[in-house]
Amino acid sequence: MRCVKYRSYMAIALTAVTLAACNGRATAPTDITQTGAVLHAQTECLAETTDNPCTGWFQYWADGSTNILTTPRVTANVRTNGFVDFNQTVSGLTPDTLYHAQFCGYGDRNIAQPGLCIGPHGTGAVRPGVQPDARDYSATQNFRTASANTVATVDIGRVLSTADTTDRPIGRDGGHSIAYSSTEALWVFGDTAQRNGPAFLAYGTAAKGPYQVGVAPTGLSELPRPPAAPQPGLTSPANFFPAPTGLVTPDDPPVPCGSTGSNSYSAAWISGGARIPNTNRVLLIWAEICVAIGDGRGWPVERWRMADYDPATNRFVRFFTPFVANPMRAGLPSTLTPSNPVFGDDGYLYLFGTKRNPDAIFTARVSANPDAWGDPANYRWWGRPGGASPQWTTDHASVVSLVSGVEPWGVYVGDFSGVGGGRRLAMLVKDSFYDSPHLRIYTAGSPLGPWTAGPVGRVPDNCQGGGFGCYAFNGHPQLSTSTSFVFSWYSPGDRQPDGGHIRLGTIRW
């Protein structure tokens, strides 16, 4: 059995025995049901020896279990010209359960018996019957089986830049992507830290690079702090948004955010983005927040900002600040901090958000002309002012929910018209912070709906690590298809203690 180096194929290297460097490719499981799945990998056989024939199988196990299951070994000592799909069906799985799988094999002159088991991204090489480091979620192929009420979900990998290396790993949350051309996408992250690099960056970080449908990007280029020009080969991330000024703690009386003894710091958190029509520039939305730690003081959003950003030059062309809290210490109500911008075909820019008590997923709109974005008087919300019928109103407190019966802990809305199949807008709603949240897809032909409920799934992650759960759920239109919705989330246990990372998954819709 031979694996040759090729693009994003998984790469491993062991020095023990006669094992040479091995590169191969594992693809996502298919036909996942409540109790079964078809596992896939790719391999190549040279058939250069008869005493060590090309042989392959899978090992797999339920998350948290030490019981490693294996498929039958298949020997086919016939030379293959290039990579071929190796697949086996597994049954007897437990519904609504997270599973991990690896491809195992030996053969030819470079992989000696008893063989080697590898994951999809080049890490986690182990002997058969051994589990890799459980903190490295890219060491295995991860998927969650369906249940009576949910469909299966599949992990397709970690979002990486070329600066994110074994010696200098980067941990960060956020993870909004915006395709600003037919081949390139901008990725904007939240809080970021790098081992042997910047200890903590609170104003967001960004990277950009080419994209491929259904594939997690692994070669993004980090962007320097604007307005520095993009440059290849950067080895560390940099703060992206302007440093917030004038923020205060939620105390009464407040003190300057980040001042000595305040146990607080200023942050800029990405809230969404969209390509500005007929340009290669991007509208970005973010919140300026005083992160007040401890004593239940909360994290008030004190400013809600927007910018016209040019990825080609890494410059903010124009800033807009329509909403500022008054008083600052109180923060803005959630109805004044919408996110998820979508440019309609009616001349308006639509924004979506969530509120609690009562729960609602709401929308607001403003003219798509950037000249209107900075003035709060230009914004309207879909609501019931004075109990009237739903209408566009300046009364943001009267918003009505676009979807009924939800308790949203987060929402993402995006334009998926590019995926084909007659799709237009898609909404991703998650229902909790800890454990492994449920996520539901809704679709609509226009911002006001009607929004039709689609599949429900659970994230393919145990969502444990670092005292956090899974959050920062976002969709990615440029990676999705008419049958596969690609989403991302912050995986708190992935690569701990280096702060977790953004991973991508798929759900059929």
**Domains located in the chain, CATH noted:** 10-148 (2.60.40.10), 156-508 (2.115.10)
State residue 435's pLDDT score. Answer: 61
Ramachandran angles phi, psi of 496, nearest 5°: -60, 145
Establish how many alpha carbons lie within 13 A of residue 455's alpha carbon, considering only the half-sphere containing its beta carbon. Answer: 17
State how far the alpha carbon of 36 is from the alpha carbons of 27, 67, 146, 364, in Å. Answer: 16, 17, 9, 44
Q: How many CB atoms lie within 10 A of CB 421?
A: 10
State residue 22's pLDDT score. Answer: 40
Q: Quick check: bond before 327 cis, omega within 30?
A: yes
**Distance between CA atoms of 387 and 380, rounded to whole angstroms?**
16
Q: Is residue 418 classed as helix, strand or coil in its secondary structure?
A: helix
Among 298, 90, 287, CA closest to 204: 287
Q: What is the pTM of this model?
A: 0.93
DSSP letters for 292-350:
E-STT----EEEEEEEEEETTTTEEEEEEEEEE-SSGGG---GGG--EEEEE-TTSEEE
State residue 440's pLDDT score. Answer: 94
One digit per residue, the tens of pLDDT, for the chain of length 509 reads 544 322 222 222 222 222 333 445 677 999 999 999 999 998 888 888 889 999 999 999 999 999 999 999 999 888 887 788 899 999 999 999 999 999 999 999 888 999 999 998 667 899 999 999 999 999 999 999 999 999 999 999 999 999 999 999 999 999 999 999 999 999 999 999 999 999 999 999 999 999 999 999 999 999 999 999 999 999 999 999 999 999 999 999 999 999 999 999 999 999 999 999 999 999 999 999 999 988 777 788 999 999 999 999 999 999 999 999 999 999 999 999 999 999 999 999 999 999 988 899 999 999 999 999 999 999 999 999 999 999 999 999 999 999 988 878 889 999 999 999 999 999 999 876 556 678 999 999 999 999 999 999 999 999 999 888 899 999 999 999 999 999 999 999 999 999 899 999 999 99
Q: How many CB atoms lie within 10 A of CB 80?
A: 17
DSSP letters for 441-493:
EEEESSTT-PPEEEEEEE-SS---STT---EEEEE-GGG--SSEEEEEEEETT
Q: Is the distance from CB of 325 to CB of 288 less than 8 angstroms?
A: no
**Distance between CA atoms of 27 and 41, rounded to whole angstroms?**
5
